[in-house]
Chains A and B, each alone.
Chain A
Amino acid sequence: MWWASLYNESIKILAKPRSYLGFLAITLLVGVILLALALDGESYLDFVTGSLEQNLMIEGSMLNGHLVGFIVLQMLVVHLPLLVALVTGDLISGEAAMGTLRNLVTRPLSRRSLLLSKYGAAAVYTMVLLIWLGLMAVGVAQWIFGPGDLAVLSGEGLQILPSVAVMPRFLQAFALAFLALYTVAAISVTFSCLADNSIGPIVGTMALIMVFTLIGTLDVPLFEHVRPFLFTTHMAAWRSLFLDPTPWSDILFSIGVLTVHCAALMAFGLHYFDRKDILT
């Protein structure tokens, strides 16, 4: 029954026009960035590496598909939560607003299974959106600019990853980015259980991200102890996977924090939805 429900949820997501907004937005944004880098990428790199050129000489061009993919990901990962929340925040509350939640809840499928299938559908949507971003950012960039060594600026300076080592790191980075984005999806689905309109959960999710990001960036002693445990602190943890040596302990901590967030949100959502009166 759970699989049947997951299939149903996938059909509904596929049939809704708003589901394609994210793909359209990614295509447009990546297109604009790729076009800009294709036309004037060298100037952009000169601007970024200008200070380094006083100490070292760079021969040849650092501009290649891997670097462009990395730049695109850095630029777009901050926008993805909104695109994810736009669809996942509507999964329960949208049905409540439409009145169709009644039809689902009065079926033999348990409420928990129903909600778990919604969380499952949110995971599938987030995954597909990320795969699309990966295809656009890394795949198309490689096709246009070709492969090459990846130059990454870190706190310790400029690091060069050989071309053959880059793709596995991209795959790992996408897996970690998925976990971060799924945390956002879990927040919006959980908020969706609390509301009977679709705007509230989307706005609520974005507001929470903004508040947590603010807490994470404010240099206030009070927040220092909280900061490592906020999911927003680990949203960009995927970037660490391009460092050499890879800081695995930090990455594992990020995975732990994000997983705990997802599990806690889902547990709360399941508990709440199981007892909720459906009045719409």
Chain B
Amino acid sequence: MAHPIIEAQGLVKAYGSFKAVDDLSFELKEGSVMGFLGPNGAGKSTTLRMLVDLIRPVSGKLRLFGLDYHRHRGRILSRIGCLIEKPDFYKYLGALQNLELLGRASGIRQPRAKAVEMLEFVGLRGREKDAVSSFSHGMRQRLGLAQCLMHDPDLIILDEPGTGLDPQGIVDMREMILKLNREQGKTILLSSHHLPEVEAVATHLVVMNRGRCLVQGSASDLLSQQNRQIRLEVGQVKEALECVSSLLSSDQYRLGEGGVLNLSLSRDELPALIKTLVERGIAVYAVESRQQLEDFYMQILHQNNQE
């Protein structure tokens, strides 16, 4: 059974009378990738900052790797790599010098060798001596990931790692996250507004709003609880519509433009529907599933905002 890496209980962070984080509890298990979601001002960044001791909660308990933060700060931070908000470096130093410096601060014995290895990993080999001021945003983001991995952490905390990246950069970042999780067994906490990216990598989800945790749990469990939005392109629209109406309730289907059927189905309903359509000789040209996470996220926030 996977051990809990993060155990947060009743965390509160207040600035005056404003509670940025209000009674937040969640748990992150070893080897998982947690998508940390919420609108701007939900308290995500504040929570992430508390996890890496940039700010301290006014109340609540925070244990990482089974250790109490107050007593074992050094041991805990030696096992965490983080990229909080935008990656900032000493602009007057080169990429290699920046990494060496941070490696030394992490207690690495041979920081230069490790820095070279990390630059290779993030695809910045050949730019070691260039001043960071000459780097594009994407390159700085990669360098940010490199500094985060310098000391081979067990837990990686990434706050909006895809911000400002071009499509190729986003794909590269996603692949790096998956590689770190699947090949190296790193536990990852990923905060992002880019829901398709989170959906592609997250095994667990936490959704926050107004400083509170709205839902948390396994991504597959949470997403399977709600209907999938399916776009169905068929040959015989009239027959298909009759078939669908006999199997689904009226609020589950709608005829869209160009004879496309928009369906709202549970996970188990889809195979049965496709099977029936095919058995009745209806040609199925395309079955497209819309992003589930986006619908789930919007639904959760909508419910919360109405309360």
Contact = CB atoms under 8 A, between A and B. Distances in A.
Interface of A: 1, 4-5, 7-8, 11-12, 15-17, 98-100, 102-110, 275, 277-279
A15 B80 CA distance: 28
A102 B84 contact: yes
Contacts of A105: 52-54
B74 A109 contact: yes
Nearest to A279: B55
A108 B75 contact: yes
Nearest to A114: B105
7 contacts: A4-B105, A104-B105, A105-B54, A108-B78, A109-B105, A109-B107, A279-B54
B97 interface: yes
Given A104-B105, A106-B82, A107-B102, 9 more contacts: A7-B104, A11-B93, A11-B101, A99-B86, A103-B89, A106-B54, A106-B80, A107-B77, A108-B73
Contact of B53 (A5, A98, A106, A279): A106
Contacts of B163: none
Contact of A108 (B56, B74, B86, B93): B74
Contacts of B106: 107-109
A240 to B, nearest CB: 41
A16 B92 contact: yes
A8 B93 CA distance: 12
Contact of A100 (B52, B55, B88, B97): B88
B216 interface: no
B97 A11 contact: yes
Residue of A4, A16, A103, A277 with most chain B CB atoms under a 10 A cut-off? A103
Contact of B56 (A1, A11, A106, A275): A275
A275 B54 CA distance: 10
A99 B88 contact: yes
B89 A100 contact: yes
B91 interface: yes
B219 to A, nearest CB: 27
Contact of B107 (A1, A99, A277, A279): A1
Interface in B137-159: 147
B104 A278 contact: no
Nearest to B84: A102
Contacts of A12: 90, 93, 101
A222 B75 CA distance: 53
Interface in B238-295: none
Given A99-B88, A102-B88, A106-B77, A8 B54 contact: no
Contacts of A277: 49, 54-56
B147 A103 contact: yes
Nearest to A98: B88
Interface of B: 49, 52-56, 73-75, 77-78, 80, 82, 84-86, 88-93, 97, 101-102, 104-107, 147
Q: Majority SS of interface residues in chain B?
A: loop
Interface centre among A12, A102, A278 (most CB of B within 10 A): A102
Shortest 5 CB-CB distances between A and B: which pairs?
Answer: A99-B88, A108-B78, A277-B55, A278-B54, A107-B105
A110 B74 contact: yes
A120 to B, nearest CB: 14
A45 to B, nearest CB: 46
A37 to B, nearest CB: 38
Query: Which interface residue of B55, B78, B88, B97 has the most chain A CB atoms within 10 A?
Result: B88
B92 A106 contact: no
Nearest to B54: A278
Contacts of B80: 106
Contacts of B91: 98
Contacts of A5: 104-105
Given A108-B75, A108-B77, A278-B55, A17 B104 contact: no
A277 B55 CA distance: 4
Contacts of A110: 73-74
Given A108-B78, A109-B74, A15 B93 contact: yes
Contacts of A108: 73-75, 77-78, 106-107
A4 B104 contact: yes
Contacts of B73: 108, 110
A106 B84 contact: yes
Nearest to A94: B90
A259 to B, nearest CB: 30
A15 B92 contact: yes
A102 B77 CA distance: 13
Nearest to B73: A110
A102 B106 CA distance: 13
A109 B85 CA distance: 21
A103 B151 CA distance: 13
A12 to B, nearest CB: 6
